[in-house]
């Protein structure tokens, strides 16, 4: 937890309690349903929670913002962001039901009132719109844009325009070229200078810039 407090302050007592509870909850659930690599579970706060919060380091979502987490898996980046932004609505979607069982249990245990979960693929969501889609190492950028574009509404009322914010790693040149997008790209080591974040990036593509 110290690694989170190294970069962020001004949490309420409830937020501190919620973040502190995550380690025990994920370790307990991971014994039943493997949602986090066993080699990473002891680095939960660095590799999963702080990594997720890199989104909070580049945008301060306004109260009432609606965000969908595409392919949330074990709840990343959605759960840490929901703790960080208690006035923002997060909808966590995944196609694997057993992972969502963990997500719902964690959200219930720490009394996260601003999280909903849905067992679905993003491309199957109908009749709902969000201000942002977020995602973490789920699929190529081209696919993420194809899935998110129909469910993200246009808007420019925040620090970043409405669109897709995703966390990715490695050499992204070919993936970006194939997507035909021009993402705003931030090396995560600029936000958090930690060796584990070398070759990891935050990408933002506005709704208008997605070319679809």
Q: What are the domain boundaries of the chain? A: 2-210
| Model confidence pLDDT, tens digit, residues 31-54 | 898 888 887 888 999 999 999 999
Tell whether residue 71 is among the known ligand binding residues. yes
Tell whether residue 122 is among the known ligand binding residues. yes
pLDDT at 137: 79
Tell whether residue 75 is among the known ligand binding residues. no
8-state DSSP, 1: -
Residue 25 to residue 161: CA distance in whole angstroms:
34
Q: At what angle do helices 13-30 and 97-109 cross, to 10 degrees?
A: 140
168, 137 in Cβ contact below 8 A? Answer: yes
pLDDT at 123: 87
Q: Which of 201, 184, 183 is nearest to 192 (CA)?
A: 201
Q: Which CATH class is domain 2-210?
A: alpha beta
| Model confidence pLDDT, tens digit, residues 113-155 | 999 999 999 889 988 999 999 999 789 999 999 999 999 999 9
Q: Between the CA of residue 31 and those of 26, 73, 102, 165, 186, what are the distances in Å?
A: 9, 16, 11, 31, 34
Whole-prediction pTM: 0.95
CB-side neighbour CA atoms (13 Å) of 38: 4
């Amino acid at each position: 937890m110290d690694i989170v407090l190294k970069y962020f302050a001004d949490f309420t007592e409830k937020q501190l309690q919620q973040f502190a509870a995550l380690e025990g909850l994920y370790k307990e659930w991971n014994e039943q349903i493997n949602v986090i690599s066993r080699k990473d579970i002891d680095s939960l706060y660095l590799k999963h929670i702080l990594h997720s919060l890199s989104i909070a380091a580049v945008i301060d979502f306004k109260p009432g913002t609606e965000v969908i987490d595409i392919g949330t898996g074990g709840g990343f980046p959605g759960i840490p962001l929901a703790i960080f932004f208690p006035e923002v609505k997060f909808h966590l979607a995944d196609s694997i039901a057993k992972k969502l069982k963990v997500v719902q249990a964690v959200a219930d245990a720490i009394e996260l009132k601003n999280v909903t979960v849905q067992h679905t693929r993003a491309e199957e969501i109908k009749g709902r719109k969000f201000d942002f889609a977020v995602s973490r190492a789920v699929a190529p950028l081209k696919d993420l844009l194809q899935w998110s574009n129909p469910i993200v509404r246009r808007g420019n009322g925040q620090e970043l325009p409405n669109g897709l914010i995703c966390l990715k790693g490695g050499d992204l040149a070919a993936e970006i070229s194939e997507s035909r997008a021009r993402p705003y790209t931030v090396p995560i080591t600029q936000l958090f200078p930690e060796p584990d974040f070398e070759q990891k990036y935050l990408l933002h593509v506005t709704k208008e810039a997605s070319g679809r």
